[in-house]
Amino acid sequence: MRYGINADAARIRPFPGGSGRGVACRYARRYAPLVTMPTTVPAYGNEAAGRLASMADVTASNGALRRFLHGLPGVDAVGLQARAATLGTRSIKTTAKAYAIDLAISMIDLTTLEGADTPGKVRALCAKGVHPDPTDRTAPKVAAICVYPDMVATAKEALGDSGIHVASVATAFPAGRAALPVKLADTRDAVAAGADEIDMVIDRGAFLSGRYLEVFEEIKAVKEACARPDGPAAHLKVIFETGELQTYDNVRRVSWLAMLAGADFIKTSTGKVAVNATPPVTLLMLEAVRDFAAATGVQVGVKPAGGIRTTKDAVKYLVMVNETLGDAWLTADWFRFGASSLLNDLLMQRQKLSTGRYSGPDYVTVD
């Protein structure tokens, strides 16, 4: 999942600085190279591995990790919201819009996570993922089908050699309230059934209580459980449930914590709470990914999930990715939408561009 970063494409911009006092401030100054951005992104390789190794003392204890995370620059909430609002005013037309619609379709994790899920429903969702528009075979397929662990084998069989990944939630999704052995067993079951990607949830209670090392170690343990003895490991997406994290500063801190622990993707939400993905929170996570790449050379993906329903919404997020991270992240390998209802609107807009007529919701399948 981790490749070299296209330094020319990734346009690095610094985020607003912060201030601090005492130990936290000294700690932040010590790690200043990790929170200030050079003009190019180093390639991932031996040098990057060395940089990550040099940060081992950051996670040596809960106190050390706390000092590092609280030494990160504070978030300028007004500036963040203004920046997100400004990017949201960008508009694209005609050919560029058609490209953006197809790109957004190819980035969707088509999801069913309901207690009433059946093998038939999962197979139908897989069929839609392979051919989103049965009347137009030029429509791109989605990135992944996301299901509960017990439906992974069904999805894997239905997708065959389509190239679409099977993603599975795990670790007592969505609340994450279970003992670590249970969470690891949940993950191993999904991987054994064939999951290509694991979407885990962090223990928000532990994070908000300041037990940062506990959260770090749990992510590391789940990452290890994603390994396969006879093939490539499943990629790990770490869900923060940002609507429960209270502050923008906490979103920045948990983003760094998850990336230090080895997350392949960082994800906003489960889609099961009142507040899910928002433009300011997603922008903040994109900036954290940019800063982490600048500091270590390691590229990490981002997945906003929940509340993204229209083509206009999707285009806003794509503009945000392009302006913050550049072309290197504008692929399904590095950016995803966790928004199944979005697909139908994208298909209707796609049909309108090709035919000149708006077909309406009766011309697309209801998930």
CB atoms within 10 A of CB 39: 9
The three-point CA angle 52-107-217 to 5° equals: 30
Q: How far apart are CA 312 and CA 332, in angstroms?
A: 19
Report how far Cα 220 is from the mean position of its chain's Cα atoms. 17
Of the listed 141, 303, 333, 345, which one is catalytic? Answer: 303
| Alpha-helix residue ranges (DSSP H) falling in the chain | 22-30, 46-54, 62-70, 77-87, 94-106, 119-130, 152-159, 180-192, 204-208, 212-225, 248-260, 279-296, 311-324, 340-355
CB atoms within 10 A of CB 21: 7
Please list the residues that pair with 198 across neighbouring strands. Answer: 168, 236
Q: Determine whether 303 is an active site residue.
A: yes
Selection from 54, 20, 70, 99 nearest residue 260 by Cα? 54
Classify strands 197-201 and 235-239 as parallel, antiparallel or unpaired. Answer: parallel
Of the listed 199, 264, 313, 333, which one is catalytic? Answer: 199
Phi, psi at residue 193, to the nearest 5°? -80, -10
Selection from 297, 286, 326, 318 nearest residue 9 by Cα? 326
Of the listed 128, 183, 237, 267, which one is catalytic? Answer: 267
Q: Determine whether 199 is an active site residue.
A: yes
Q: How far apart are CA 149 and CA 186, in angstroms?
A: 7
Q: How far apart are CA 114 and CA 128, in angstroms?
A: 18
Identity at 336, one-letter amino acid code: R
Classify strands 265-267 and 144-147 as parallel, antiparallel or unpaired. Answer: unpaired
Report how far Cα 235 is from the mean position of its chain's Cα atoms. 11
DSSP 342-366: HHHHHHHHHHHHHHSS---GGGS--
Q: Is residue 299 within 8 Å of 43, Cβ to Cβ?
A: no
Strands in 144-147's sheet, in edge-to-edge order, are 109-111, 144-147, 165-169, 197-201, 235-239, 265-267, 301-303
- For the chain, what is the total number of helices (H) and then of strands (E)? 14, 7
Q: Catalogue the active-site residues.
A: 199, 267, 303
